[in-house]
Amino acid sequence: MRLNQLSPGEMSAEQRAIYDESIASKRGSPPPPMMAWLASPEMARHATRLGAFLRYDTSLTAAESELAILVTARHWTAQFEWYAHKKMALDGGLDPKIIDAIRDRRSPTFDDPKAQVIYDVARALHEAKGLPQPLYDEAMRLLGERGLVEVIGLCGYYTMVSMTLNAYQFPLPEGETPELA
């Protein structure tokens, strides 16, 4: 890993306050990319608060959120992000066959039209850099304006997370092997 992670005792008062806030949040621990973001404490503060909102307080179910996050992790081949969120996706009820298809860059088969549109929106944002009108219309119909904004927010936030993890070469936990080719 390229990052020299600060221990709490090495942090400035501002960094320590953000670190402590993350521990006191619903997460219970600092998200790994926050350790890099602490180089810019104000960015770390805003980014971790946005991340907490997107993880825990959107109108989407856990499985729906994790679907958008996994599409993003796969797009960026973010091994650490994939490792962390695959477990959360399974715990949130996302079908393992869908997860495997995303990992293998195959289009999953969805029974739920809402999940299908979340997948399609996330893929379109990453690959086409936008949403064609028919997909936008379908997303508005199935997700509503708030849901669509939240899917876009998840994709954008987890793009920043993936870039951070990749740039600093965050390692997988001991004994884990990368799943993304």
What pLDDT, in 10s, does the model give residues 121-135? 999 999 999 999 999
In a domain, 162, yes or no: yes
In a domain, 33, yes or no: yes
In a domain, 180, yes or no: no
Domain hosting residue 46, numbered range: 8-56
Work out how many domains the chain is built from and give that number.
2
Look up residue 94 and give its two tokens.
């996302």
8-58 pLDDT, tens digit per residue, is: 999 999 999 999 998 888 878 888 899 999 999 999 999 999 999 998 999
* 8 CB-near residues (< 8 Å, 6+ apart): 16, 19
In a domain, 15, yes or no: yes
In a domain, 175, yes or no: no
Same domain (yes/no): 32, 73: no
Kindly report the CA angle at 46 between 31 and 29, in degrees rounded to 5?
Answer: 20
For residues 3 and 168, is the Cβ–Cβ distance under 8 A?
yes
Q: Residue 56 is which amino acid?
A: Y
67-83 pLDDT, tens digit per residue, is: 999 999 999 999 999 99
